[in-house]
Chains A and B, each alone.
Chain A
């Protein structure tokens, strides 16, 4: 019975991959009728940044990015809503490893520098808030594994402020131009570059914070609620 279901599943997955491959092959046969990269290159000057991907993420399609940060914040909220509240200095979580210690001594400062560079590079070459935020979070994880307590990651008001900061700044910039009579998320003429830089900086911080909070909030509390109509 189980063998039969494996065969069926394999057949289904093979059929799926086959159809998908066929579709890709057919589509690749003719060029796309809309030349979006060309259009992008024409409008790049108006975007305020030189790196096309940053221009797409934070100007042309900034709405996607705003919502995406929202998704990240939701994950963060769900994470801290289940977080353990008693103690972050759980001895179990501390890894007393000399290798890790050495890594921490040498790598953490290096990673902080790298995060700063990635953030700064974002406007004209590869790099940007996401990469920088991830690197920042990774250095935080390393410090955490080394046993540094990180009290600010307790589910308190500080953590929530940190989660919300990047999103709030982004949202305020978005609505400010709308109040001035332009479209939501439009940057005022001439201010695109500094505003994008500000947004990227706070986003880096918030992204790192969310990712770190999700890592730290190992959910081991007993807080729980009975199903409606069930008794404890």
Chain B
């Protein structure tokens, strides 16, 4: 039963961060939430008995994609609107 509770919490956290990625007004914040989402996904893969995917998700999904997006967000400016000088 405790297992179900923990998994339920993880799923809830996954969905919450997913919504937060899309809903947050600040682009930088959205990217940070996206990285958090990737880490939670890695946990979910561990729960699905898929350690290989968990490793790949942590390294590629959260790590590299996150850095790529962070860097892009920095260049594009944190918010909608004009280009930074």
Task: Tell me, yes or no, whether A binds B.
Answer: yes
- Find residues 30-85 in chain B having any chain A CB closer than 8 Å to their own CB: 51-52, 54-56, 59-60, 63-64, 67-68, 71, 75
Given pairs A134-B63, A138-B59, A218-B75, 7 additional interface contacts (CB within 8 A): A126-B52, A134-B59, A134-B60, A134-B64, A138-B63, A215-B71, A218-B71
Q: Tell me how far the C-beta of B84 lies from the nearest C-beta in chain A, rounded to whole angstroms.
A: 11
Q: Tell me how far the C-beta of A143 lies from the nearest C-beta in chain B, rounded to whole angstroms.
A: 12
A159: Cβ under 8 A from any B Cβ: no
A118 touches B55 (CB 8 A): yes
Size class of the B contact interface (CB-based, 8 Å): 10 to 19
Chain A, 201-220, contact with B by CB distance < 8 Å: what is the 0/1 string?
Answer: 00000000001001100100
**Chain B interface secondary structure, helix, strand, loop or mixed?**
helix
- From A127, which residue of chain B is reached at the shortest CB distance? B55
A135 touches B59 (CB 8 A): yes
- From A142, which residue of chain B is reached at the shortest CB distance? B67
Contact residues in A for B60 (Cβ distance below 8 Å): 130-131, 134
A171: Cβ under 8 A from any B Cβ: no
A130 to B54, CA, bound (A): 12
Size class of the A contact interface (CB-based, 8 Å): 10 to 19
B64 touches A211 (CB 8 A): yes
Chain A, 131-161, contact with B by CB distance < 8 Å: what is the 0/1 string?
Answer: 1001101100100000000000000000000
A126 touches B55 (CB 8 A): yes
Chain A, 52-88, contact with B by CB distance < 8 Å: what is the 0/1 string?
Answer: 0100000000000000000000000000000000000
A128 touches B68 (CB 8 A): no
Contact residues in B for A128 (Cβ distance below 8 Å): 52
Q: Tell me how far the C-beta of B23 lies from the nearest C-beta in chain A, rounded to whole angstroms.
A: 13
4 residue pairs, one from A and one from B, having the closest CB atoms: A134-B59, A126-B51, A131-B55, A134-B60
Contact residues in B for A141 (Cβ distance below 8 Å): 64, 67
Contact residues in B for A53 (Cβ distance below 8 Å): 52
Contact residues in A for B64 (Cβ distance below 8 Å): 134, 137-138, 141, 211, 215
**Residue of B55, B63, B68, B75 with highest tally of chain A CB at under 10 A:** B55
A218 to B67, CA, bound (A): 13
A137 to B52, CA, bound (A): 18
